[in-house]
Amino acid sequence: MSTQPNHFAPLARLLHWLMALMIIAMLFIGAGMVASVSQRHEWLIHLHKPLGVAILLLAIVRLGVRFSTRQPPLPADLPVWQALAAKASHVLLYALMLVLPLLGWAMISASGEPVMLSSSLQLPSIVPADAQMFAFLRKAHGYLAYLMFLTVLLHLAAALFHGWVRRDDVLDSMLRGKDRG
């Protein structure tokens, strides 16, 4: 008899934890670089661009994994509003994983600067140079990054709530591969 899985597929878990580290690092790098005039500013920007593109690529892979594997169901006794919040926040996280790197890429394109991932690795521009477009994209990049940070905090709080307060299988389903037993 086919049953619902109790845990995420190993590849899904690997991508989750790898990207969790990358995204949190990315949010801290971004916040640090715009608040610094020291050499840290330059150093962090050189990390921020290739890391952002790596997150974009991994997010695409991860969406593929998401749609090709089965996810463990939410607990049946979870209040409806929490189930809805869980779904909405996951959609938001996936959307931001894709949108934030694209906004970063587009804003550099709009500034007319070459989009350099290293001293010689260059990406094509994805929007034409335009000052007003730059200002819009740059602000969207900043505000949505803060939204992502808040969503990540909510996600973290909810995961711990499942693990420590509700003591259901939700946190466990991302932590380990074997059913509890």
Partner 1 sequence: MVDRSSPPTRPPLSAASLTLRLAAIAVVVGAVAGAFAYVNGTFDPQRLTPKKLINVLETNNGVHPGFRRNHAKGVCVIGHFESSGEARSYSTAQVFNEARTPVVGRFALPAGSPYAPDGAVPIRSLALRFTQENGQQWRTGMNSMPVFPVGTPEAFYQFQQALSPLPATGKPDPGAVPAFFGSHPEAAPFLAWVKTAKPSASYVTETYNSVNAFYLVNATGQKQAVRWNMVPQAKDAPGATAPEGSDFLEKDLVQRITAGPLRWQLMITLADPGDPVNDASKPWPEGRKVVNAGTLVLESTQPQLDGECRDINYDPLVLPAGIEGSDDPLLAARSAGYANSYLRRTSEVSQLPAAKQEAQQ
Question: Nearest-5° angle of CA 146, CA 147, CA 151?
Answer: 115
Is the Cβ–Cβ distance between 115 and 108 less than 8 Å? yes
Q: Is 89 in the site for partner 1 (CB under 8 A)?
A: no
80 belongs to the binding site for partner 1 (CB under 8 A):
no
Question: Which of 56, 90, 140, 161 is close enough to bind partner 1 by CB under 8 A?
Answer: 161
In angstroms, the Cα distances linking 60 to 94, 97, 179 are: 9, 9, 28
Strand partners, 115: 123
Question: Taking the complex as a whole, how short is the minimal distance between the CB of residue 66 and partner 1, in angstroms?
Answer: 13
User: Which residue of 21, 122, 177, 179 would you call a contact of partner 1, by CB under 8 A?
Assistant: 122
**Diameter of the chain measured on Cα atoms:** 62
Residues of this chain that bind partner 1 (CB under 8 A):
4, 6, 24, 27-28, 31-42, 71-78, 111-114, 116, 119-120, 122, 129-132, 134-135, 138-139, 149, 153, 156-157, 160-161, 164-169
